[in-house]
Structure 1
Amino acid sequence: MLGFLTARQAGLDDPLRLRRAESTRRVLSLKLNPDRDVDRIHGNGINTIDIEAIEGRYMLSGGADGVIVVYDLENYSGKLQYTCKAVCTVGRSSKYVHKFSVETVQWYPYDTGMFVSSSFDKTMKVWDTETLKPAEVFQFEGNVYSHHLSPIARKHSLIAVGTKEPKIQLCDLKSGSRIHVLQGHRAEVLSVRWSPRYEHILATASADSKVKVWDVRRASGSLFTLDQHNGDKSKASSEAVNTAHDGRVNGLCFTGDGLYLLTTGTDDRMRLWNSATGENTLVNYGKVCNESRKRLQFTVSRGCSPEFVFVPCGSSVAVYGLHTGELVTMLRGHYNNVDCCEFHPDYQELYSGGKDCNILAWVPVIRASDVEEETKSANQVQVLITGNKIWKNPKVLELLHLG
């Protein structure tokens, strides 16, 4: 680390190199922190969590009990041990609460004054954070598995919605109506995700084993369908047989730069794709346990070199090298299956939620100081008096007095 600091100070290294190195070290040292707790509010499993990108301070959670909770992650107590308190809750006593399981929650990307939730009660609600009342409610024909707002959109305010129907619904926040439908899947749409690089590019995953990539400005269908075997994309007939997995595809996640797309399926496989060409990069992650019939929320680190993938795997969270496929570690601490996890890029922390009703905080281990250096600085403080060095060490001072 001192080498990085010296090189940066001398102008020999890009300042980002030090930042990436320290971020990587922190991710590799993630442990369950006994000093950090998150208020236990949910009476049932936790399906989804989201941390807002404006301040990196507030976290949303949605549970199988229909309850939505907003947490404050900041520590203002000045103490090492603290609990992330629930700021507000849409509980069972609220008349606006979802009737059934909440499957996805997401902050509005540009303002913490609004967030969106979707549920198995066939609704998606746009909430005012101040009043905890829905400003808009969208009704659908089937259960809502997933929704997503683009994190970068400037030219549209669309929410992509995946439901039990094989069609992707596009809802406009400005008009409060459903304005477009994307057709092409043959089974329920389990996950939807906007690209963090191009605001009109959308990826969708379905129980029909397919992953499609769309440009929502086009009316002629999807750009391409991902093929795990990297077949000939020039043949239109191959589109019908292309599959991304051999089972239901229930997880999607773009890398932070939007260059790659990760998918998970019930075939116990995770695959990494080039998001521009749709090519399978053939990274082998081994067996990634996945029995979920609903959306699986996993996440990718940001600001590290190399990057890492965090995937719920039974009652643990598996950490993989993004481009190597190597299993780096397993984060164990939950008492039941983990359903969701979210990476905090500002502090390189990870939060995970599971069927045990707990949200756990995985925090980097503080770098242990060099004991010898600490002893030296404490006992051998050099003070220059009339050209002589006097050591502030009790034993040395005693000898000096004896002398």
Structure 2
Amino acid sequence: MNAYLLNRSLGLNSPRVIERALNVHLLHALQPTGTQFHGEDSRDVSPETGVERRSLAHASGVNAITIDKFEGRYLLSGGADSSIAIWDLESGLRMADSYTPLSSVHRTAKEHKFGITQLCFYPFDSLAFLSSSYDHTIKIYSSETLSTSASFDLGSVVYTLALSSIASHLLVACATQHPAVRLVDLRSGASTHSLAGHGGAVLSVSWSPVHEHILASGSIDGTVRFWDIRRSVGEIGVLDMEDSVGILGRGGFDAETRHRERGRAHAGAVNGIAWSDNGHHLISVGHDERIRVWDTSSGANTLANFGPMVRNSHLSALIPLLAPSGLVPSEKDVLLYPNENEILMYELFEGNLLKRLKRHNHAATVSNTSFIAGKRNTNRITALAWRPHNIEVYSAHSDGSIGAWMPRTSEDALLDEEENDLNGNRDQEENKKRKRETLEDIYRDLTKQRITFGSEA
């Protein structure tokens, strides 16, 4: 960091260079925190003491989380028991590194009947959000009252949904058990049309961050397809893991360019896709336990190799998380992957493993809750969310907890060590004082005369 400051003083670097260097340093210093989320209905009883404790965000596991992109303040979480909770990350309710929900909804006849699969805030207003569920429905909620304002029954399990953050249309793309991508228009309240082409259930969908009419989808048949919703025949291309050159050409999604009609992106089901912020690359993950990075201008497989540590075997969506591009230098994007019970941090284009993040001490905190849902894969990460305007990551876990990850640098550790030393010295002085007072009381009772011991040198 001193070299950056020196170069800045010499006029060789701009303030932006120093800012990005500091952000990269903080990003690589992400560590689990002791922050806990206590749900209103997640009480459990310790088998050792019989004391009731509240240690979980959702008693039956957390399936989905998301954070509003405007203030970066409100976190939504959806449970495997169909419950939904909203948390204020800057609320005065935060006491001793713990949160309680601002509001929550539980399973009723009016709400979802089965587990939540996806949550997302309305793209232009955090006062409303959408949810999808295994009960075949998507619902629109008010963020203030957590009451439903609309419900859509799609007739099959909804695995994920997506809203475009740049589009003028209000189409919700839905990945369902049906082999066609379903589009729901929030203005008309109707399912407008379907995008047919996949050979099996669609597990993941995502809108392009730069082209408002372009959509990508991943399916159980191993394919990743691109769609232009303006066309009568929506499909405009398929990715092929064997192609490292690409045939789309520089025109990218232009109608006049050549597009591939056949190919598989993965040797197994594709249950997660995500775009880079500039739309130049698409990341896909599949049951073949591979992460692939694609050049969207040509459709080429960049051949980034992420090594043998990747695990992916669940049918539910597993969406990789990209750190905001503004935090890191150009072409140095960072990917966070929820790998069972840990987060793997990779350099995106080279596939180099930068760090493994794991909550080592968390199992002891919630181990007494395993009786709630029988045998459970404790601590499996089901979803990740980045907190905008901050270097913070939040994770949803199948044990019912929500994890918080924040930077902890060597300077922070040194300050904590100094504080612990001061606290330790203070505790030693207090112990000595209590011992002297105890001895004074004993001798006073024996001699009926108060004897005072002088302070130790």
What's the TM-score bracket when you normalise by the shorter of the two chains?
A: 0.7 to 0.9
The one-letter code of the counterpart of 2:36 is D
- Does structure 1 retain, via aligned residues, the 8 Å contact 2:237–2:259? no
User: Alignment RMSD, CA only?
Assistant: 2.4
Greater shift, 210-219 or 5-14, is seen at: 5-14
Partner residue of 2:125 out of 101, 111, 114: 111
The one-letter code of the counterpart of 1:189 is V
Distance 2:91 2:5 in 1: 28
- Does structure 1 retain, via aligned residues, the 8 Å contact 2:71–2:388? no
Aligned counterpart, 1:50: 66
Distance 2:410 2:279 in 1: 32
Cα displacement (A) at 1:149 = 0.4
- Does structure 2 retain, via aligned residues, the 8 Å contact 1:90–1:96? no
Aligned counterpart, 1:205: 218
Partner residue of 1:64 out of 67, 80, 83: 80
Q: Which structure has the bigger radius of gyration?
A: 2
Aligned counterpart, 2:337: 311
Query: Which ranges of structure 1 fall in alignment gaps of 5 or more residues?
Result: 376-403
For 1:247-326, list aligned pairs within 5 A. 247-287=268-308, 288-302=310-324, 303-305=327-329, 306-326=332-352
The one-letter code of the counterpart of 1:284 is N
Partner residue of 1:344 out of 387, 412, 433: 387
SS in structure 1 of the partner of residue 411 of structure 2: coil
- Does structure 2 retain, via aligned residues, the 8 Å contact 1:233–1:239? no
Query: Which ranges of structure 2 fall in alignment gaps of 5 or more residues?
Result: 39-55, 249-256, 363-377, 419-457
CA deviation string 1:31-63 (max 9, x = no partner):
1112x2223331112111111101000011112
The one-letter code of the counterpart of 2:404 is A
For 1:97-246, list aligned pairs within 5 A. 97-153=111-167, 155-230=168-243, 233=247, 239-240=261-262, 242-246=263-267
SS in structure 1 of the partner of residue 284 of structure 2: strand
Distance 1:146 1:230 in 2: 28
Normalised to the residue count of structure 2, the TM-score between the two structures is 0.76
Q: How many residues align?
A: 368
SS in structure 2 of the partner of residue 368 of structure 1: helix
- Does structure 1 retain, via aligned residues, the 8 Å contact 2:74–2:88? yes
CA deviation string 1:326-379 (max 9, x = no partner):
11121111643211111224221111111111111011014517989xx9xxxx
Cα displacement (A) at 1:5 = 4.3
Q: Structure 1 residues 243 and 371, CA, compared in 2 at 3 Å: closer, same or farther?
A: closer
Q: Structure 1 residues 90 and 6, CA, compared in 2 at 3 Å: closer, same or farther?
A: farther
Distance 2:20 2:100 in 1: 31
SS in structure 2 of the partner of residue 113 of structure 1: strand
Q: Structure 1 residues 8 and 57, CA, compared in 2 at 3 Å: closer, same or farther?
A: farther
Greater shift, 51-60 or 70-79, is seen at: 70-79
Aligned counterpart, 1:20: 20
The one-letter code of the counterpart of 1:101 is G
Larger strand proportion, structure 1 or 2?
1
Distance 2:259 2:292 in 1: 23
Normalised to the residue count of structure 1, the TM-score between the two structures is 0.85
Distance 1:190 1:90 in 2: 26
- Does structure 2 retain, via aligned residues, the 8 Å contact 1:107–1:114? yes
Distance 1:355 1:123 in 2: 22
- Does structure 2 retain, via aligned residues, the 8 Å contact 1:54–1:109? no
The one-letter code of the counterpart of 1:177 is A
CA deviation string 1:84-136 (max 9, x = no partner):
331111113x4432100110000112111100000010000011122211111
Greater shift, 16-25 or 352-361, is seen at: 16-25
Cα displacement (A) at 1:15 = 2.8
Cα displacement (A) at 1:200 = 1.2
- Does structure 1 retain, via aligned residues, the 8 Å contact 2:338–2:384? yes
Cα displacement (A) at 1:293 = 1.1
* Superposition misfits of 4+ residues, deviation over 6 angstroms: 234-238, 369-372
Distance 2:212 2:123 in 1: 13
Larger helix proportion, structure 1 or 2?
2
Q: Structure 1 residues 369 and 108, CA, compared in 2 at 3 Å: closer, same or farther?
A: closer
Distance 1:37 1:75 in 2: 14
Give the share of equivalent positions with the same residue, in percent.
35
SS in structure 2 of the partner of residue 112 of structure 1: strand
Cα displacement (A) at 1:9 = 6.0
Distance 2:217 2:179 in 1: 11
